[in-house]
């Protein structure tokens, strides 16, 4: 029987365990301020702030919107979307069940 050396044995023993990062949420819910509930204006505002939102990634959701980020950059922008007092949104939170 031929001897086949295990070339990966030393590699596995000396390697550092992989540190897994928690993925960013992809679904976010920006909640409207009182009296500022307008879907069309909200979609225009979000497009101006975070870029193009693909069709189907923006839906009405209770007292807010349900927005799906198309990529990691857009998810990061939604996560830290500023909500000043003159903005139509009060807060932006990651959706608790959609990932």
pLDDT tens, per residue, the chain with 99 residues: 677 766 666 555 666 667 777 777 899 999 999 988 899 999 999 999 999 999 999 999 999 999 999 999 999 999 999 888 888 999 999 998 875
17: tokens are: 């365990």
What's this model's pTM, rounded to 2 decimal places? 0.72
Using alpha carbons, select from 43, 38, 36, 50 the residue that is nearest to residue 82: 50
Give, to the nearest 10 degrees, the angle between helix 39-50 and helix 72-79. Answer: 110
CA distances to 63, 77, 86 from 82, rounded to whole Å, are 18, 9, 11
Residue 23 CA to residue 11 CA, distance in Å, equals 27
CA separation for the pair 60, 92 (Å, rounded): 14
């Amino acid at each position: 029987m031929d001897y086949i050396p295990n070339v990966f044995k030393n590699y596995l023993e000396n390697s550092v365990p992989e540190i897994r990062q928690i993925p960013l949420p992809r679904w976010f819910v920006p909640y409207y301020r009182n009296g500022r509930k307008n879907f069309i204006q909200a979609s225009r505002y979000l497009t101006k702030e975070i870029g193009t939102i693909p069709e189907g990634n923006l839906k009405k959701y209770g007292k807010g919107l349900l927005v799906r980020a198309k990529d990691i950059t857009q998810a990061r922008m939604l996560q830290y979307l500023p909500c000043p007092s003159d903005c139509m949104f009060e807060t932006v939170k990651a959706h608790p069940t959609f990932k």
